[in-house]
Amino acid sequence: MTLTAPARFQSLWQRNLIAGASDDSPAIYQRLLAGYQQQNRHYHSLRHIEHCLGMFEQCKSLLQEPDAIELAIWFHDVILESGRRDNEARSAQLYLELSAGAQREEMRRLVERLIMATLHDGSSLDDADSFYMVDIDLSSFGLPWEEFLRDSLDLRAENPHLCDADYHLNQTGFHRSLLARPRFYLSDFFFERLEQQARANLARYFEYLETVKAGG
């Protein structure tokens, strides 16, 4: 069974229902599936969610609120519209709408905050679980080079409204902001496992872009 199988999501949703709440998990799963299977998805697809869940499984025992992080993983990229800067906020809002009256308010606000942490702007990072959420979302930077490059090309394909120069200016700006941090990965778990590879990938990617610009 894959990590994104309906039974997994439905079990997660059901065990976090408050007393008396109706179980709408099959319909909610289908809503998530519809989002991640949109034709404009190249990187932010079910493959990304599967990858994040795989990383989650590796560090699950270290988390304070693993169900909150797993819910945030499922929802954090469900809304994706090229050119908009509020996709994370809209994804969080969808979660809040679907969980209203079904989950504890404390859980709902925690999941919302974890989703918003994936803006990667430094906000919403007040506890260890937020560090793990950010690191899980960025863990693909630490994949082997060929997989990292594939993901980079898929991300480019999700932004057809930008010319190459504007896209790479924006993206490398984001990359350099991550590299400027004392640690690319905030948690010890991911720092020890992926930090070196992520930094090497980005250094090689910058060289790759220069080669592409030169037509080599």
Q: What is the per-residue pLDDT across 148-175, written as a single tens digit (0 to 9) for each?
A: 999 999 999 999 999 999 999 999 999 9
Structural domain boundaries in the chain = 6-213
Q: Using the 8-state DSSP alphabet, how is residue 141 labeled?
A: G
Residue 108 CA to its chain's centroid (Å) = 18
Torsion of CA 138, 105, 59, 122, to 10 degrees: 30
Shortest CA distance to 75 belongs to which of 126, 111, 124? 111
Going by C-beta distance under 8 Å and a sequence separation of 6 or more, which residues neighbour residue 204? 145
Q: Using the 8-state DSSP alphabet, how is residue 163 labeled?
A: -
Helices 87-99 and 25-36: angle between axes, nearest 10 degrees: 170
Assigned CATH class of 6-213: mainly alpha
Q: Is the pLDDT of residue 1 over 80?
A: no
Shortest CA distance to 185 belongs to which of 44, 72, 59? 59
Q: Is the pLDDT of residue 26 over 80?
A: yes
Residue pointed to by tokens 């969610």: 49
Q: What is the per-residue pLDDT across 6-17, written as a single tens digit (0 to 9) for each?
A: 999 999 999 999
As a residue count, the chain comes to: 216
For residue 214, name the pLDDT band (cuts at 50, 70, 90).
confident
Q: Is the pLDDT of residue 178 over 60?
A: yes
Residue 213 is predicted with a pLDDT of: 82
